[in-house]
Amino acid sequence: MITISTDKSLLDINTIYNFITEAYWAKGRTIEEVQKTIDNCFCFGAYLEGKQIGFARICTDYTVFAYIMDVFILPEHRGKGYSKQLMDNVLNDSELQSCTVWMLKTSDAHGLYKQYGFTDLKHPEKVMEKIIK
């Protein structure tokens, strides 16, 4: 069984940086940028025998809106239900219970998030984005 914690002092920045900067969504981020994202979000670490094996970062106002980002379980620990344990903890955390709008983007984990009620946008005509690269 894994342990899930929101204690940022337990996070292993090197594990997080090494994983997400190889992932399609975070290529090119510096370690300083990764640290800044952690500092400014509500974060969850997943630990097995004291070693970090997963992570999730939530950008939130703790009242209305929560945006899930940078979710991962290290490849060697997948297929054991750990991503579900992590998502259960994120979605049931007492700090986020008043949030009525949850969002995320994914290219490859639709099956996981659909289990938690995430769907395609109901009104995509209302959603806008600005991407600067």
Can you give the CATH number for the domain in which 7 is found? 3.40.630.30
Look at residue 131 and tell me if it is in a domain.
Answer: no
pLDDT at site 3: 97
Q: What is the mean pLDDT of residues 91-101?
A: 97
Q: For the chain, what is the mean pLDDT?
A: 94
Look at residue 21 and tell me if it is in a domain.
Answer: yes
Domain count, the chain: 1
Look at residue 132 and tell me if it is in a domain.
Answer: no
Q: What is the mean pLDDT of residues 50-71?
A: 97
Q: How many CB atoms lie within 10 A of CB 28?
A: 7
| 107 contact partners, CB below 8 Å, separation of at least 6 | 24, 25
Is the pTM higher than 0.85? The answer reads yes
Comparing 6-10, 53-57, 84-88, 103-107, the range with the smallest average pLDDT is 103-107
pLDDT at site 111: 87
**Would you give the distance in Å from CA 30 to the centre of its chain?**
18
DSSP summary character for residue 30: -
Look at residue 83 and tell me if it is in a domain.
Answer: yes
Q: What is the mean pLDDT of residues 6-26?
A: 93
Query: 40 lies in which domain range?
Result: 3-126
